[in-house]
């Protein structure tokens, strides 16, 4: 029995050593993923809230599950896949919320995002639902793709929760080439286009509300 036990122990150690060696040899050969970001263009100017400003409370963002992580989603002929060797520096939903904040800061309108505890009272609430945030290969897998950003925005009045607006904003920006160096700027442009339209829509709606 002692010989059998010794043999089994030796086989176990040898097997573990082989498995460990295999794991170690794989990692150095893996190519590191490139890290990218979108919506990081700083506002040219940011003005503080004034007496003429009105507050807007932003509800938590709803983001399409397939694209909310740090993976870059692509769609080719209806087939979805993630772009290899590419990651966002943070989950897409986090970068998107940062882009929303910058969009309102950079805007020249009266609308300002506020939290529940801020002095500037929120007369409206806005909820953003990102339905599409992807790289679309509409002309085939080798052609320059389009970046699609589709956002549904819903506005309500905080005093009585009345619906003030429900609209879908769609931005499509074609990349100049089928390379990440060209695709990432397309994400910036599409996000900026959609958010600029949303901010203008929110600002126009808020300006029509009676003073509280």
Provide the residue ranges of all domains of the chain, joining segments of one domain with +: 1-30, 34-207
Domain 34-207 has CATH 3.40.50.10610: yes
Could you report the per-residue pLDDT of 82-113, keeping only the tens digit for each? 999 999 999 999 999 999 999 998 877 789 99
Spatial distance between the Cα atoms of 82 and 70, rounded to a whole number of angstroms: 10
* DSSP output for 155-166: EEETTT--EEEE
Judge contact between 86 and 34, C-beta under 8 A: yes
The 8-class DSSP code of residue 33 comes to: P
pLDDT tops 50 at residue 36 = yes
pLDDT band at 153 (very low <50, low <70, confident <90, very high): very high
Query: For residue 211, what pLDDT is reported?
Result: 65
Judge contact between 198 and 128, C-beta under 8 A: yes
pLDDT band at 115 (very low <50, low <70, confident <90, very high): confident
Query: For residue 79, what pLDDT is reported?
Result: 96
Is the model more confident about 28 or about 36? 36
Burial class (CB in 10 A: 0-12, 13-18, 19+), 144: middle
């Amino acid at each position: 029995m002692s010989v059998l036990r010794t043999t089994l122990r030796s086989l176990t150690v040898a097997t573990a050593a082989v498995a460990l060696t295999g794991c170690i040899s794989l990692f150095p050969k893996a190519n590191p993923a490139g890290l990218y970001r979108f919506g990081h263009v700083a506002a040219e100017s940011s003005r503080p809230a004034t007496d003429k400003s009105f507050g807007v409370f932003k509800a938590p963002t709803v983001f399409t599950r397939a694209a909310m992580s740090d993976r870059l989603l692509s769609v080719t002929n209806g087939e979805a896949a993630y772009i290899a060797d590419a990651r966002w520096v943070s989950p897409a939903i986090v970068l998107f919320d940062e882009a929303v904040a910058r969009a309102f800061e950079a805007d020249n309108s009266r609308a300002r995002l506020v939290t529940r505890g801020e002095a500037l009272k929120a007369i409206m609430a806005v909820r953003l639902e990102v339905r599409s945030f992807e790289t679309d290969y509409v002309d085939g897998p080798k052609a320059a793709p389009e970046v699609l950003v589709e956002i549904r925005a819903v506005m309500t009045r905080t005093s009585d929760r009345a619906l003030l607006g429900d609209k879908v904003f769609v931005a499509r920006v074609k990349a100049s080439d089928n390379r990440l160096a060209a695709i990432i700027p397309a994400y910036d442009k599409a996000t900026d286009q959609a958010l600029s339209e949303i901010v203008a829509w929110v600002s126009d709606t808020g300006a029509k509300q009676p003073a509280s």
